[in-house]
Amino acid sequence: MLVYRIVHKKYSNSLFASGLEGRWNSEGKKVIYAAESISLAYLETMAYRKGFGFNFDFRIMVIKLPNNFSHTTVETLQLPSDWRDFRSYKECQAIGNIWFDEGIHLGLKVPSAVVPENYNMVINTYHKDFKKVKLIEVLNFIPDQRLEEIIKEYK
């Protein structure tokens, strides 16, 4: 399975996890967030960056997960109705922290807060199979400035 990340070029040549907290992990839990498509990765990054700051210094990381890798799927029906709200991070983090601490599965397949019908993959960098996760390609990312301009109009 291929998954995708859009990052600043200085972080694009290795599978690095900062350990900063995110929707599905508390601080110190070193995970990598990736999306099931490049377009979803773009939307996720736009939301995270609040639509600002794209230039030609970003890259698309193409990541290959091992065949038949183990993962757990979180369905939206399992989540509180307000799970997409940033104030609900604690509930989502609790789910992700249990998954991470158990260390059973390499991936945690989670609905995207941007497009809940699509999924992101959270990858546990401490899992025994993480060594099988490969960065197979880094592509130039050329953002469409029209999207940034649309978002700026609504601020």
What's the pLDDT tens digit per position in 75-125? 999 999 999 998 889 999 999 999 999 999 999 999 999 999 999 999 999
What kind and span of H or E run contains 98?
helix 89-102
What kind and span of H or E run contains 136?
strand 134-140
72 has which bridge partners? 108
What angle do the packed helices 145-153 and 38-48 form, to 10 degrees? 40
CB 81 within 8 A of CB 14: no
Instruction: Tell me the pLDDT tens digit for each residue of 113-146.
Output: 999 999 999 999 999 999 999 999 999 988 777 7
Tokens of 120: 């992101």
- The answer to whether the Cα torsion of 72, 76, 78, 83 is positive or negative is positive
- Listed by start position, the domains of the chain span 2-153
pLDDT-derived band at 48 (thresholds 50, 70, 90) equals confident
